[in-house]
Structure 1
Amino acid sequence: MTGITRYREAVQTIKTAILQSRYRAARAANAEQLKLYFNIGRYVSANTRTGKWGTGAIEEISSQLQAELLGLRGFSPSSIKYMRQFFEVWNEEFQADSNFAMKGSQLLADESLEADGDQSIRQLPIGELTVADMNAFLGIGFTHHIQIFSSCRTLEERWYYIRRCAADFWTVEVLKSHLRADDFHHTGALPNNFVQTIPDVKCATKAVRAFKDEYLLDFINVEDAEDESDVDERVLEHALVSEIRKFIQTLGSDFCFISNQHRLIVGEEEAFVDLLFYHRSLRSLVAIELKRGKFKPAYLGQLNYYLSALDAQERHPNENQSIGLLLCKEANQAVVELAIRDFNKPMGVAVYRTKSDIPQPYRTLIPLMDGVREILSADRNKE
């Protein structure tokens, strides 16, 4: 081993240790910040909801904090109200759900923020939650939490997005896109034949969870045409490929793009898969076919043929069988379920929406929708 090689290994070892230490420190700092915000929210809630503080108290407190702690950020009146909502949303949910019995965890306790002797909730009850759940809760930023509790009305839905943010390291912008797409209600709802065609039950279940029945492609704008020719589908395909990073975010982080118009040769005849991906968790090739019009049962025969060719020619010995996804403009679920059930290759049929589906006068408002959600949430926070 040369000196250069030895030093390179030493550099990588030290670099890894530094990065891991920074990551742990950042997570610890984020958890501490959430604890602070939760307790400030509890303190503010106890004093504003009971009328102990008068109108405009939060604005005045924010102003004085800015004056006494120069350069202080994150404590504007709206931010303090979000802290109050953060406490009230989770406190209300935990109090209403018998599964979240008090367990004595001091995760979010702070004795210094008692509200005039109020001894109500000084901790976040964890009940049946796992350590992984609490790590996820404390591992995502406060801005993520704001987006989640402002958009989701049920505890189950909130936990879905919290877990996804923590597991997939979603940025706030990525989270917003998944909230707009309503992933919670669409994930796992794809009409498919996975249970019948994938022998391993766990793998079949994982496949069901990997796909949605509807995909929001609001980052592309493909104008409607009178016919449904291949030219129209190529336009859609080109738009997706040109925005492949956003498309992968829409599909899920386990999808890896391989190619578009992927060439297959069978008996000296060519066939082309519109989009070919690899799914890391499923260890499967995923062929996606795009259709501009309404679902037709004949489309499944073509997709089934592509999957057979992929399994025969490109599937590796350690990989699972290829999976097909048909993306159509619209589909009748009853027709899809009847048409798909007798095929022997795992396939599903989903629909998609693009910016073109939104009436012209409202298209320019798309970037503002997240702001509207925040305004509505702020209105609910008014004293």
Structure 2
Amino acid sequence: MAQKKQKSEVAKLDAGYGDVLSSMVELLEEARRTSARAVNSIMTATYWEIGRRIVELEQGGEKRAEYGKVLVERLASDLTSRFGRGFSKRNLAYMRTFFLLWPIVQTVSAKSATKNLQTPSENSPTSPAELPIVTGEQLTSLASIAERFPLPWSHYVKLLSLDDEKARKFYEAEALHGGWSVRQLDRQIGSKFYERTLLSKNKANMLQKGTEPQPGDLVTPEEQIKDPFVLEFLDLKDEYSENDLEDALIHKLEDFLLELGSDFTFVGRQKRLRIGDEWYRIDLLFFHRRLRCLVVIDLKIGKFTHADAGQMHMYLNYAAEHWTHDGENPPVGLILCAEKDAAVAHYSLEGLPNKVMASEYKLALPEEKLLEEQLERTKRAIETQASSNEK
């Protein structure tokens, strides 16, 4: 009798348990989203205020340009020493520019902002200078400043890359109106959505299509709470650090290149070299049998920059002088960048003696797109595995 009663209670639990679990999952995901928004809001307000103070200090200096440069360098050093990541000269420059481009802000609804901006033209919405002035007394707390910036800091960083004020206003309003993730904003900027809308005969239809997210645009609550900007602001270490990710990617990419066929022969990993008084490490070094040349691979966690290209050029010069044997062809470089939302592969062929050899190299080496896809798949697999290990 007791066993029948127990089975009945289990059956009742099973019948209603799915709904209970589902409701709790929704609750926790919403809590994470709300937490991420709250942190982002205060973070954005803080960075705007830091930018304001930097500008005020610069204006107080006798030689403004020179004083401003020294000021930012000193602040970057002292704030990094005190608070950790997130206060490099570059980031402080972002904050300064953020204040200058959004010096006076008025609260507008997403609806009214988009209404003003949905047809880009010379009759653009009001410029910041025409908005009512906000006095220091009104901005008595970070919370009151935060109310004036409805988008996350990552969105404003993307908007800072735009020189055209009208385009900036357009994307800001559309991101707010459509609830765009930073990935969607980045994609729309990259696809010239503003310019395409400007030229479109049916602007309303174009804007409607722009609100539709693509599969890669969606950001999970877990990703929101682990946003690198948030982790930097709170001085929290991501459970799977960049060094861990880089090491794992190097091992996986080594296996991938060896599996492509017999052309790639492994030479070394984290190979040290000394240039002047500085020591450097090359992530991976292969020999390509068909091309008869060394392949220098440098992996970066972040966006591809001109500095990366310059460093690779230095590596190739060293490899050509010290590691290349008689009868071998000049070395080739491969820069792989595991960005936050994408992967970039870039061959460095500038050191080759002629275009014919460069063409031969390109035909024999794996296509950059193939490498980008593999790098992105590998990165996501590693991050998923790391996330699973935490549970």
Q: What TM-score, normalized to structure 2? A: 0.39
What's the TM-score once normalised by structure 1's chain length? 0.40
